[in-house]
Amino acid sequence: MAARSSKITDQKTDHESSQESTVEEGALLFETTGKEKVYRYKDSILLSLPEGRNTLTTSWLNGGYREGLRAIFNHRVPKGKHAPKDLDGGSIPAYLSILAKRLAADPDTASGLLTAANMDNVSIVTRSFRGVEVTAVMTAGIEVNGGRVGDPASYYQEDGSHQFIQGTINTMLIIGANLPPYAMTRAVITATEAKTAALQQLMAPSRYSTGIATGSGTDMMAVVADGTSSLLLTDVGHHSKLGELIGKVVIECTLKALEMQSGLTPLSQRDVLVRLERFGIEENHYWKVASHMDGDNRKAAFFKTLREMSKNPVLVSATGSILHIVDEISWGLVPETAGRKVAVSIMKGLPEMLGIDTSIPFDELTDEKDTIIENWIRVTAWLAKNCDPEDICNSRT
Residue 234: CA atoms inside 13 Å, Cβ hemisphere, count?
A: 0
Q: Which of 89-103, 108-122, 169-183 comes out lowest in average pLDDT?
A: 89-103
Q: How crowded is residue 365: how many other Cβ atoms within 10 Å of its Cβ?
A: 22
Q: How many CB atoms lie within 10 A of CB 51?
A: 9
Compute the distance between CA of residue 244 and CA of residue 249 in angstroms, rounded to an integer.
9
Q: Locate the DSSP E strands across the chain.
A: 27-31, 37-40, 44-48, 53-57, 64-67, 71-76, 110-115, 123-129, 132-140, 146-147, 169-175, 215-216, 220-226
Q: Which residues have CB under 8 Å from 336's CB, separation 6+?
A: 329
**Residue 160, pLDDT score:** 61
Q: With a cut of 70, say whether residue 295 has pLDDT above it.
A: yes
User: Residue 289's pLDDT band (boundaries 50, 70, 90)?
Assistant: very high
% pLDDT > 90, the chain: 74
pLDDT of 39-67, one tens digit each? 999 999 999 999 999 999 999 999 999 99
Q: What pLDDT was estimated at residue 301?
A: 93
- Short-list 117, 72, 70, CA closest to 96: 72
Distance CA 396, CA 312 (A): 6
Global pTM?
A: 0.89
- Which range is most confident: 144-148, 171-175, 388-392? 171-175
pLDDT, residue 299, reads 94
CB 66, CB 100: distance < 8 Å: no
Quick one: how far is CA 340 from the chain centroid? 31
Find residue 171's DSSP bridge partners.
138, 221
Parallel, antiparallel, or unpaired for β 44-48 and 37-40? Answer: antiparallel
Task: Give the mean model confidence (pLDDT) for residues 19-28.
Answer: 56
pLDDT at 311 over 70: yes
Q: What is the pLDDT of residues 347-369, one digit of tens each?
A: 999 999 999 888 899 999 998 78
